[in-house]
Amino acid sequence: MPTYKELLNCLTNKFKEAGIHEFESDAWLLFEEAYSLSRSDYIIRMNDTAPENPVLEGFANRRLEGVPVQYITGKAYFMGYTFNVDENVLIPRFDTEIIVDAVYRRCTQNAAILDMCTGSGCIIISLAKLLNDGVYVGADISGKALTVAFKNAEALKARNTTFVQSDMFENVTGKYDVIVSNPPYIRTEVIDTLDREVKGFEPHLALDGGADGLDFYRILSDNAKNFLNEKGILAVEIGFDQGKSVSELFNETGFENVEIIKDLAGLDRVVIGNIGGK
């Protein structure tokens, strides 16, 4: 029987040989989940004989088939919180923390915030945790996605957070100080060229932004003013090559102080602007 260390090394090498990009971290996350071992536990017990674990074998087979680690474990990490995820929602990504930070820096503690295309709820729940007092609403067309978001809000005890099933603004009511969104923005023709983990398993409904990738930005910039208070903010995550196009849409629809915010890699990641007011 192999030791824990030998088993982890074997899994890591298997993922490396299969061409899995994050082979070391993926192997550890699945190993950790299957054996319920923390890093410190592993260091203490790495030379102990590892018991047979059919769960780990199943995890490894799914990962080799291309299933993302987060869908296998049902967990994703975002803004220091653990979110439940499944194939009905996009996996929260580190780059999206940029938009949370941008909104947080511009908000008051009692802001009313709408998160359009909320998915797992990672944006609106993170803002609710950071700001605490306020009104936080997540909207999504997918009822299955909203089920995941609601579970996350419950698990993370996000105060004053509710969700509404809506095709964009169709069922949205009220006025907000901020509308934030990470909408679908991949050009339709590009989806088939994405990594198999993305195109094969993440929901296309949350990826496809139309022929030029801008369909949802048009809807947001055209309609957001009807749901924003004076000087209200619209903030959207964008693809790395969409900063100019989306900022032009904001300007054309009357937003002011339009700014493009870059991510840590120096790529355009967020467009933010506000409507006028006294």
Q: Band the pLDDT of 3: cuts 50, 70, 90.
A: very high
What is the average per-residue pLDDT within 42-63? 96
Cβ neighbours of residue 9 closer than 8 Å, sequence gap 6 or more: none
Number of Cβ within a 10 Å radius of residue 10: 13
Burial 37-71 (b: 16+ CB within 10 A, else e): beeeebeeebeeebeeeeebeebbeebeeebbbbb
pLDDT over 90 percentage in the chain: 96
Place of tokens 């908000």: 107
Q: How far apart are CA 273 and CA 256, in angstroms?
A: 6
Residue type, 95: D
- Whole-number pLDDT of residue 63: 98
Q: How far apart are CA 156 and CA 131, in angstroms?
A: 14
pLDDT > 90? residue 276: no
Rg of the chain in Å (alpha carbons):
21
Place of tokens 């006294």: 278
Q: Band the pLDDT of 277: cuts 50, 70, 90.
A: low
Q: How far apart are CA 66 and CA 198, in angstroms?
A: 9
- Whole-number pLDDT of residue 163: 98
